[in-house]
Chain A
C-alpha cells in the first residue's frame, strides 16, 4: 500500500532553515511527483509546490520563491522540502502528498510534520 512517512517535529528560531523529509513506499517513486502543502494553526491548506520524482522538475508557489527548495533522492525514494529564512508565520504542519508527473492533484498524504518557529 502507498505510504508517505515524514520526519519528526522541528523547533526553529527565526532566520533559521528547516528540511523536512518524506519517505515513499508501495509504488514506483519515479513514476509520480510529490507536492508539499502546509497548514498554519487553525487555517486551511496552502499549496507550496511540486517536484517530479522522474526528472526533478519543480514548481513553487510565488510567495515562497527564493526561500523554498524541493528535492528528491531516488535511491531512497525520499523527497525533501527545505524552507529558509524562517519567520513566525511559517509555523505550520507541513504535508507531503503524492502527485503526478505534472501537478494534477494529490491522492495520498503523509502524516504531517509540525514546524514551530519561535525565538
Chain B
C-alpha cells in the first residue's frame, strides 16, 4: 500500500509562486497521483492528475496558474501568481491497482501572505 507524505504547511506572498510537494513511499515512485484543493469550509475540488513523467491533466475550470511536475518519487503542484482564494488545504491522492485501495496524503495548509 503506497504512503503519501506532504508538508503540513506552506506560505507564500500574494502574486508570487509556490511549489507544494507530495512524496510517494519506496517502491511506489512510478504511481500516478491526483491533486485536490479544499478551501475553508468547502468540499474538496479536483485539480489535476499527475504522472511520473510530469504529464498532467487538469480538471474543468482549473486556472492556468496551476501546474504539475514530477521528479522521481516526488510530485509537485506549482501555483503561480498566487491569489487570496488559493489559501486552502491541498491534498494528494493515489491508488493501488493491485489492492484497489485509495489513499490520501495528510494535506498541506497553504497560507497566502
A residues adjacent to B (C-beta < 8 A):
35, 37, 44-47, 50, 59, 61, 95, 97, 99, 102-112
CB closest residue in chain B, given A95: B43
Chain B 13-52, CB-CB to A under 8 Å as 1, else 0, gives 0000000000000000000111010100001111001000
A38–B107 alpha-carbon span in the complex (Å): 14
CB distance from B23 to the nearest CB of A (A): 16
CB closest residue in chain A, given B50: A105
A107–B102 alpha-carbon span in the complex (Å): 13
Q: Are A47 and B106 in contact (CB under 8 A)?
A: no
CB closest residue in chain B, given A93: B43
The listed residue with most A CB atoms (<10 A of its CB), out of B46, B100, B101, is: B100
Q: Report the interface size class on chain B.
A: 20 to 34
CB neighbours of A50 from chain B (8 A): 100, 102
CB closest residue in chain A, given B57: A107
Contacts A95-B44, A105-B32 supplied; 20 other A-B pairs, CB < 8 Å: A44-B89, A44-B105, A45-B36, A45-B38, A45-B107, A46-B104, A47-B101, A59-B99, A99-B102, A103-B100, A104-B32, A105-B33, A105-B49, A105-B95, A106-B34, A106-B46, A109-B36, A109-B43, A109-B44, A110-B43
With A37-B104, A103-B102 given, is the CB distance from A111 to B97 under 8 Å? Answer: no
A45–B33 alpha-carbon span in the complex (Å): 15
CB closest residue in chain B, given A108: B46
Q: Are B44 and A47 in contact (CB under 8 A)?
A: no
With A109-B46, A111-B43, A112-B43 given, is the CB distance from A44 to B104 under 8 Å? Answer: yes
Q: Are B102 and A35 in contact (CB under 8 A)?
A: yes
CB neighbours of B103 from chain A (8 A): 47
Q: Let me know if B94 is at the binding interface, CB within 8 A.
A: yes
Q: Let me know if B76 is at the binding interface, CB within 8 A.
A: no
A105–B33 alpha-carbon span in the complex (Å): 8
Q: Let me know if B74 is at the binding interface, CB within 8 A.
A: no
A37–B36 alpha-carbon span in the complex (Å): 13
CB neighbours of B97 from chain A (8 A): 102, 104
